[in-house]
Structure 1
Amino acid sequence: MFSEIGQLIFDNEAVAKTSDFTMGLEIEMQRVDENGNLSQEPYPAAAGDEQTNPWITNDFLETMSEVVTPPAAHALDAMHYLYSINTALRTALSPGELLWPLSMPPRLPKDKREIPLAKMGPKKEAYLKEWVKRHGFSAGTPCGAHLNLSIDPHVFNLVYDNMQDRFESKVDLSNYLYAKIAQGFLRYRWVITYLFGASPVAEANYFDKDKGPAAPIRSIRQSSHGFGNPFRGDYTTVQRYVNNIEKGVKEGKLISDYEFHGAVRFKGNTNLKELPKTGVNYLELRMLDLDPSSSVGIRTNTLRFFRLLASYFIMSPGLHPEDVSRVITRADAMNEEVSEEHPNDVSKYQASARAFLRSLEMYANKIQLGPEYQEEIEDLQDRVENPLTTPSAKLITHLKDGSLTEYAMRRAKRYQESALQSIRPFKGFENKTKLSADQLKHELFKGSWEPDKDKQQE
């Protein structure tokens, strides 16, 4: 079950640290009016400066709001931040404005030139205009939930102290472990699409006439019909990842390295060329549709599942370097097939998904994770056996004339009303001051919640 590194961690009773990831969230949602159209209102002033506020910003469109949480020690801590900042955004909206809860955008205007791109400064705006020329407006409008995961330093220290003969430096080890986790997520991305896909249809004017799927599918966003540039990453090593992106820019396949939006991104040095030398600091995981059953677009149990996956990938044998490209290419093809299956259908890869979740269950038992993890695995096993329990299958029960607008607006209004009933919503972004993570924590919770002092076990 364990790799050499995994056995070392297990023998030193440090397995808990492999699921002790520092976690940050980035959740995108479109602002809409009460009729279900993209909002015509300006960026909400009470949300701060869209160019400088790191916690509420814009992405692609002026209406595409993005809530970003500071790094947190546990899934519950991350959700504390997310709910508080999401509420701050909602209370900053103009009267009648709502946050669209689905990944696929609301109906778009026929003339997409009416849609304002995000006002993020001349350099970013020039990039967005070039992006639209290459890919069109629609491809930039789907929203999602991004998870940022950072490995506990204790894991690096333990492994490096015992395996210096194998790794030249802690940076070398860091790059190896993050690449290993990235390969795991990409290898089983199709499982995640099956379990959490929630974008079965597109609303009016997303696709050109006679384009797009003829019937609902599991996830438009996670399919080739979804977001942006189809450029493939190379995840064999961090160096090859960087070389591949730089080659894509040189050949004109990418506008800049910023345009690479793979399902996983290595994050660290803002100068991509220096990343292999300075080391990966965290992974950005980009394979989750918004969960419309949650006002913030994601659930705590989903975060726990992703932490379990990352721990499993650290502890288990990885791919041989010569196999990485072939395995991930095959996994990409599987993901395309799964994303395009009808939501009510048993997946072509049901047996493989069943076997993978069984391996995760055995791993969770071996390292004695808590009952909340067992419950989540059981719930996901039910989804594998019964596709009608998956998010996309539940969504299509709400279709009216091929549209989810009525359902989405009902949810959006409920979530907005709930946010407006908050006793003391955070108003600290109005003065345009750029808050650090520590300042934000203090201002949001006024000392009532200290995640660093109260590290509840997940």
Structure 2
Amino acid sequence: MAGVLIRHQKGYILSARFSHRLQILSEGDNKACLQQIQHGIEKEGLRVTPDLQLSQIQHPRALGSTLTHPYITTDYSEALLEFITPVYLNPEDALNFLSELHTEALNKLPEGEFIWATSMPPVLQGDDLIPIATYGDSNIGQMKYVYRQGLAHRYGKAMQTIAGIHYNFSLPEQFWEIIRKADGDSSDLSAQDYQSASYFALIRNFRRYAWLLSYLFGSSPAVDASFLEGNDQHGLDRLDDQTWYLPWATSLRMSDLGYTSDAQSSLAICYNTLDNYVESLWSAIHTPYPDYEKIGVKGSDGQYRQLNTNLLQIENEYYSTIRPKRVTQSGEKPVVALKERGVEYIEVRCLDINPLMPLGINAAQARFLDTFLLFCALEDSPEISDDECDIIASNFGLSVREGRKPDLQLHDGSRPRGLTEWGAELLERMQPIAELLDNVSGTSLYQESLSSEGKKLNDVSLTPSAIILKVLEGGQSFRGYSAQQSRIQDDKLRSQKLDSERQGYFDDIAERSLHDLADKEMSDTVDFATFLHEYFTSEEIKA
């Protein structure tokens, strides 16, 4: 069934398996499970001073502890805020909470500071003025700090100032039960193992088609000249004295200027099965890497330089466009949680911050992502061979550096395909999913989001990267444009005052987080060296 193509009653060309799954999912009460899809959003943003440089001031105490606050923390730098929403059934609710987090943070920033509205950073003045985030004196807080020191020594600090948006997406257990019955699956896999295998099928399709997201949503076609200081091999074109760019780029953030490294390029992380994925990550975490051994765990001053000298210090160091995830228990390694309890949700990590939107993402984009991810879950997803893995990497690389180039050709297996032609076909195949989601939600918003994105495939000037670059080519520098958009978006978000009840809610959370930090610092029973040793030796992957 998997390889057979059929025509949907409305004219769409679909695989037989996809069509059958969709039909079963649409029947009776089955479609109600789509109302139980869960969403969460994580959004980063740099604190910037009026002269467009990174803030050197510590994270505001009024916002609570970055170690224990559930919603407002920092990523790599003390200046790099990270907002984390709770999980919601409706993506609009996640966006509303994200808006409140912005308002809360903006109103408590030091005088004159604002949040940078683009993924690529403002004016950088060298590594010494990129402050690494601190998390207090507890062992876990020190571990987070040392991990970031390791990133600095391994990759440099500038790369760590790049900001983005992560979109968390979880399908309910009932959905997987329906799909399993639709497939007539009679294997002896447990429900947990079937769900994990199905999430990995979704991930494989996501990787196959992630180039489409870069084309539609990529918003970083240019960078400030200071970001490239000392890098003579970047391959970009100069736009003005302060700006470098590529004429057809969509997302330099996701190019080899951003989250890549020579060491990680040697990793062969497998997405065909959970076991292979866990084993390949586990191996990377436990395999010494000569260049990192030269750095050493500690410097001559006795201060930690990194957590260890292995290819990856911890799992989170592996950069990927998408991750399988499982909520961890206290002190539990993510890879162990996945092995023990399976995949719970996926985290989309390739989304730029769109400076044309106050939050960097809006509800229409979220609805498109839901449609796209559901398509990836329902579509046939054979295992990825080594050859296809190379093709996937090539397609994505072309899309981020040359995605808007006229007649750009990607590779669909062994045959070339035009990006826009292939993208239009994918949107056509996604159409019945958008219709089903609209039917379930009683709206037309999913089809409208699909239609809106389709217009970008017909007219490249509608893509955010093209809109941004048009302004820059008109004479505005990247830093000037980003500052302008940042202030516009900040003004909108600051003006949305929290009512007294919501303000009290966030004040209570911040105060409680400070108490929780103090409790953590008082509860440690071993020194930091012992803590690290126990962390890296206490849990092994069970066969």
The TM-score range, normalised by the shorter chain, is: 0.7 to 0.9
Q: How many angstroms does 1:197 deviate by?
A: 0.6
1:178 aligns to 2:199 (yes or no)? yes
Kindly indicate whether the alpha-carbon contact (under 8 Å) linking 2:26 and 2:436 is maintained by their aligned counterparts in 1. Answer: no
Moved more, 197-206 or 356-365: 356-365
Displacement over 6 Å in runs of 4+ = none
> Between Structure 1 and Structure 2, which shows a larger proportion of helix residues?
2
CA distance in 2, matches of 1:342, 1:30: 27
1:265 aligns to 2:323 (yes or no)? yes
Moved more, 286-295 or 325-334: 325-334
* Partner SS state of residue 131, structure 2: coil
Structure 1 unaligned segments of length 5 or more: list them.
Answer: 436-458
Q: Tell me the amino acid that sits aligned with residue 215 of structure 2.
A: Y
Q: How many angstroms does 1:318 deviate by?
A: 2.0
Q: How many angstroms does 1:157 deviate by?
A: 4.1
Q: Which residue of structure 2 aligns with residue 311 of structure 1?
A: 374
From 385, 397, 401, give the equivalent of 2:470.
Answer: 397
Change (3 A) 1:360 1:328: farther
Kindly indicate whether the alpha-carbon contact (under 8 Å) linking 2:127 and 2:157 is maintained by their aligned counterparts in 1. Answer: yes
Change (3 A) 1:42 1:14: same
From 117, 122, 130, give the equivalent of 1:115.
Answer: 130
From 347, 353, 356, give the equivalent of 2:423.
Answer: 353
Once the two structures are superposed, the pairs formed by residues 15-414 of structure 1 within 5 Å of their partners are: 15-18=31-34, 20-109=36-125, 111-120=126-135, 121-159=141-179, 165-207=186-228, 208-212=230-234, 213-214=236-237, 215-216=245-246, 217-229=249-261, 230=264, 231=267, 233-251=269-287, 252-268=310-326, 269=328, 270-271=332-333, 272-319=335-382, 321=383, 323=384, 325-341=386-402, 343=404, 345=406, 347-348=408-409, 349-365=419-435, 369=439, 370-399=443-472, 403-414=477-488
Q: Tell me the amino acid that sits aligned with residue 394 of structure 2.
A: A
Moved more, 206-215 or 238-247: 206-215
Q: Tell me the amino acid that sits aligned with residue 160 of structure 2.
A: G
1:421 aligns to 2:495 (yes or no)? yes
Q: How many angstroms does 1:274 deviate by?
A: 4.3
CA distance in 2, matches of 1:384, 1:16: 32
Q: How many angstroms does 1:70 deviate by?
A: 0.3
CA distance in 2, matches of 1:194, 1:16: 32
Kindly indicate whether the alpha-carbon contact (under 8 Å) linking 1:200 and 1:343 is maintained by their aligned counterparts in 2. Answer: no
Kindly indicate whether the alpha-carbon contact (under 8 Å) linking 1:53 and 1:434 is maintained by their aligned counterparts in 2. Answer: yes
Structure 1 or 2, whichever has the larger Rg, is: 2
Q: How many angstroms does 1:325 deviate by?
A: 4.8
* Partner SS state of residue 286, structure 1: strand
With normalisation by structure 2, the TM-score equals 0.74
1:255-308 CA-to-partner distances (Å, cap 9, x unmatched) read: 222212211111114431341331111111101000111111111111101111
* Partner SS state of residue 88, structure 2: coil
Q: Which residue of structure 2 aligns with residue 433 of structure 1?
A: 512
Change (3 A) 1:50 1:186: same
Q: Tell me the amino acid that sits aligned with residue 335 of structure 1.
A: F
Q: How many angstroms does 1:235 deviate by?
A: 0.8
Q: How many angstroms does 1:383 deviate by?
A: 0.8
Q: How many angstroms does 1:174 deviate by?
A: 1.4
Kindly indicate whether the alpha-carbon contact (under 8 Å) linking 2:218 and 2:251 is maintained by their aligned counterparts in 1. Answer: yes
1:216-235 CA-to-partner distances (Å, cap 9, x unmatched) read: 22111111211244445311
1:344-385 CA-to-partner distances (Å, cap 9, x unmatched) read: 645432221121112112443467654212221121111112
Q: Tell me the amino acid that sits aligned with residue 84 of structure 1.
A: E
1:199-221 CA-to-partner distances (Å, cap 9, x unmatched) read: 11111321134332224221111
1:28-64 CA-to-partner distances (Å, cap 9, x unmatched) read: 0100011211112221222111111020000001100
Q: How many angstroms does 1:153 deviate by?
A: 2.7
Aligned residues: 432
Percent of aligned pairs with the same amino acid:
24
